[in-house]
């Protein structure tokens, strides 16, 4: 009898917590979206309800990296031929997937579509609830601390709390085995188009936190195995490949400690120092294989200043693990000691004639940004990310951001070697492209996964002499 009452009490407490959490999420959402965003109310009530969302220097990394609003994208529209190709591929892919998954059965296809829709909304609701629950990080930290007390060390491969602590204390996640055929074919298609335009093409593979020598490689993590398969396919297709995993290993003693030193302990990104090294390594490859004229001395480490900000940075893995388990680490700001001068010219495709009023306003805003950025290497830094504050809401890595979320064209006023390089990059390029720009006349960079325009149109319009695809 006592046992039944105790169980009922626990169930009641649990349901009460869920009810309170649900009500708080709804209240905070309405407060933010209606009272603050729509009615512009800022008073004691709204501040109390949104108490943990009022910090300064809050940055949404996902917004910066994955949801860019490319102002210039409309100036690089897809050709009719390109649009038809995309539609044909899409229809073919969908048809093949439907047939494979549903055996051609319309009912099963409908069920699969319904399942996909449910998964989409489930993810959206989860993200919405996470953003609006009060003191979310505090609750996560408490849960993590509870697991620590219990010595719970089983970590799921995917999903919630998937951060893994390696033997040396580094944080990472595991990647499963993947078929790289489709990815490799897409890259080779891009390379073929570059060939048509007379543009040289280079694929650069950056290293992973887990090396091939780690016991987890090939057992729990397949990052390197996936990369090896992709590189084999690219080489077989005639693409030029630079494997920075091998280059980094050859640059040191080959130990696990040296390999891991390329990365932040609490983050998946490489350090700024590694970005500088990578820029020099790529430049040397360009000189050796593409008859490049890049002065390699600009990448010599002793020509740079290294300002260390102690215990400033908590990386993406660290934020996920919370401060209960993860410790902030040092962050280094690297910049040249020699004279630098850059400008941001508007791209060739941007013409003032024929623009709508809205587009004219957008271009005016962009031109103002450009004028503000013209200057020394310091224009690549967002110093607000170096302020001490909330570890959970400040991503110090985005210090290397060049302050513009749009597609960027960088002109080096002090270099006249005729090199015009387009980087197709992900977030690793943040701490690489600025250093590479020190050695060439013109550097362009964009994220293929977020660029709203046509990459083919962009390449045909801007005519770089080298395209470098940087990815993992």
At 178-193, the pLDDT tens digits run: 999 999 999 999 999 9
Q: Please, where are the H alpha helices in 252-376?
A: 256-260, 272-290, 316-321, 357-373
Between the ranges 98-112, 119-133, 273-287, where is the mean pLDDT highest?
273-287
* H or E segment to which residue 127 belongs: helix 106-132
* Per-residue pLDDT band at 2 (split at 50, 70, 90): low
d(CA 231, CA 236): 8
d(CA 448, CA 468): 12
Q: For 142-172, how does the pLDDT look when each residue is reduced to its tens digit (9 = 90+)? A: 555 545 554 445 455 444 457 889 989 999 9
Residue-level pLDDT at 198: 97
Q: For 307-332, how does the pLDDT look when each residue is reduced to its tens digit (9 = 90+)? A: 999 999 999 999 888 888 899 999 99
240-255 average pLDDT score:
95
DSSP character at residue 410: E
Q: Is the pLDDT of residue 71 over 70?
A: no
Q: Is the pLDDT of residue 99 over 50?
A: no
Q: Please, what is the average pLDDT of the chain?
A: 79
Give the pair of three-digit tokens for residue 184.
């490799």
What is the three-class DSSP state of 400?
Answer: strand
Q: Is the pLDDT of residue 65 over 70?
A: no
Token pair 């640059």 is found at 251
277-286, 354-363, 409-418 — which is least confidently predicted?
354-363
Residue-level pLDDT at 452: 78
Neighbouring C-beta atoms of residue 192, cutoff 10 Å: 13
Torsion of the alpha carbons at 15, 18, 23 and 25, rounded to the nearest 10: 180
d(CA 162, CA 174): 8
DSSP character at residue 416: -
Between the ranges 80-89, 152-161, 230-239, 395-404, where is the mean pLDDT highest?
230-239
Residue-level pLDDT at 269: 95
Give the DSSP per-residue string, 20-83: HHHHHHHHHHHIIIIIITTT---SHHHHHHTGGG--SS---HHHHHHS---TTGGGSPPPHHHH
- Strand 420-424 and strand 164-165: pairing? unpaired
136-145, 260-269, 361-370 — which is least confidently predicted?
136-145
Token pair 């949404």 is found at 60
Give the residue, 121 or 16, on which the prediction is more confident. Answer: 16
Residue-level pLDDT at 70: 57
* Per-residue pLDDT band at 63 (split at 50, 70, 90): very low
Residue-level pLDDT at 81: 66
* Per-residue pLDDT band at 56 (split at 50, 70, 90): very low
Q: Is the pLDDT of residue 74 over 60?
A: yes
User: Percent of the chain at pLDDT above 90?
Assistant: 45
- Strand 408-412 and strand 342-343: pairing? antiparallel
Give the residue, 191 or 124, on which the prediction is more confident. Answer: 191
Q: Is the pLDDT of residue 442 over 90?
A: yes
d(CA 38, CA 29): 12
Contact 220, 226 (CB under 8 A): no
SS3 content of the chain, % helix, strand, coil (to 5): 50, 15, 35
Residue-level pLDDT at 310: 96
395-419 average pLDDT score:
81
Contact 334, 406 (CB under 8 A): no
Give the pair of three-digit tokens for residue 67.
């949801």
* Per-residue pLDDT band at 396 (split at 50, 70, 90): very high
Q: Is the pLDDT of residue 57 over 60?
A: no
Contact 437, 298 (CB under 8 A): no
Closest CA to 388 of 310, 294, 295, 285: 310
d(CA 208, CA 472): 7
DSSP character at residue 432: T
386-406 average pLDDT score:
78
The torsion region of residue 300 among left (phi > 0), alpha (psi -120 to 50) and beta comes to beta
Q: Is the pLDDT of residue 97 over 60?
A: no
Between the ranges 1-10, 277-286, 322-331, where is the mean pLDDT highest?
277-286
User: Percent of the chain at pLDDT above 70?
Assistant: 66
Residue-level pLDDT at 231: 98
Q: What burial class does residue 238 get, using C-beta atoms within 10 Å of its C-beta: 0-12 exposed, 13-18 middle, 19+ buried?
A: exposed
Residue-level pLDDT at 439: 97
- Strand 200-205 and strand 240-243: pairing? parallel
Q: Is the pLDDT of residue 346 over 80?
A: no
d(CA 24, CA 135): 11
Phi then psi dihedrals of residue 222, to 5 deg? -120, 25
Residue-level pLDDT at 199: 97
Contact 322, 340 (CB under 8 A): no
* H or E segment to which residue 324 belongs: none
d(CA 468, CA 438): 16
Contact 268, 291 (CB under 8 A): no
Q: Is the pLDDT of residue 372 over 70?
A: no
Token pair 């696990």 is found at 256
């Amino acid at each position: 009898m006592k046992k039944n009452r105790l169980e009922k009490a626990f169930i009641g407490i649990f349901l009460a917590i869920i009810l309170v959490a649900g009500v708080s999420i709804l209240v905070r959402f309405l407060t933010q979206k209606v009272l603050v965003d729509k009615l512009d109310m800022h008073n004691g009530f709204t501040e109390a309800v949104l108490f943990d969302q009022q910090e300064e220097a809050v940055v949404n990394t996902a917004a910066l990296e994955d949801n860019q609003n490319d102002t210039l994208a409309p100036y690089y529209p897809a050709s009719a031929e390109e649009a038809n190709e995309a539609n044909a591929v899409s229809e073919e892919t969908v048809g093949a997937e439907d047939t494979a998954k549903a055996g051609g059965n319309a009912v099963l296809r409908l069920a699969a579509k319904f399942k996909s829709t449910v998964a989409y909304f489930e993810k959206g609701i989860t993200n919405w609830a996470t953003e609006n629950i009060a003191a979310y990080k505090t609750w996560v930290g408490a849960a993590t601390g509870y697991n620590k007390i219990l010595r719970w060390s089983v970590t799921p491969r995917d999903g919630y709390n998937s951060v893994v602590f390696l033997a040396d204390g580094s944080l990472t996640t595991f990647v499963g085995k993947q078929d790289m055929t489709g990815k490799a074919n897409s890259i080779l298609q891009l390379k073929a188009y570059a060939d048509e335009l007379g543009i040289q093409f280079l694929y650069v593979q950056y290293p992973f936190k887990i090396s091939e020598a780690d016991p987890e490689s090939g057992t729990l993590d397949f990052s390197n195995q996936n990369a090896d398969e992709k590189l084999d396919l690219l080489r077989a297709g005639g693409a030029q490949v630079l494997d920075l995993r091998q280059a980094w290993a050859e640059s040191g003693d080959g130990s696990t400690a040296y390999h891991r030193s390329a990365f932040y302990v609490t983050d998946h990104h490489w350090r700024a120092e590694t970005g500088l090294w990578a820029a020099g390594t790529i430049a040397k490859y360009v000189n050796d294989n593409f008859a490049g004229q890049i002065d390699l001395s600009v990448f010599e480490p002793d020509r740079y200043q290294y300002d260390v900000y102690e215990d400033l940075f908590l990386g993406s893995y660290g934020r996920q693990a919370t401060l209960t388990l993860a410790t902030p680490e040092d962050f280094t700001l690297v910049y040249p000691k020699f004279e630098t001068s850059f400008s941001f010219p508007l791209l060739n495709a941007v013409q003032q004639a024929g623009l709508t009023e809205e587009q004219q306003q957008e271009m005016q805003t962009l031109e103002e940004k450009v004028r503000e950025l013209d200057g020394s290497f310091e224009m690549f830094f967002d110093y607000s990310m170096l302020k001490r504050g909330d570890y959970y809401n400040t991503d110090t890595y985005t210090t290397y951001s060049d302050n513009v979320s749009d597609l960027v064209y960088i002109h080096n006023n002090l270099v006249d070697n005729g090199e015009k390089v387009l980087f197709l990059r992900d977030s690793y390029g943040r701490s690489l492209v600025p250093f590479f720009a020190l050695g060439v006349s013109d550097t362009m960079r964009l994220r293929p996964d977020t660029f709203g325009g046509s990459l083919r149109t962009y390449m045909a319009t801007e005519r770089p002499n080298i395209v470098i695809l940087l990815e993992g």
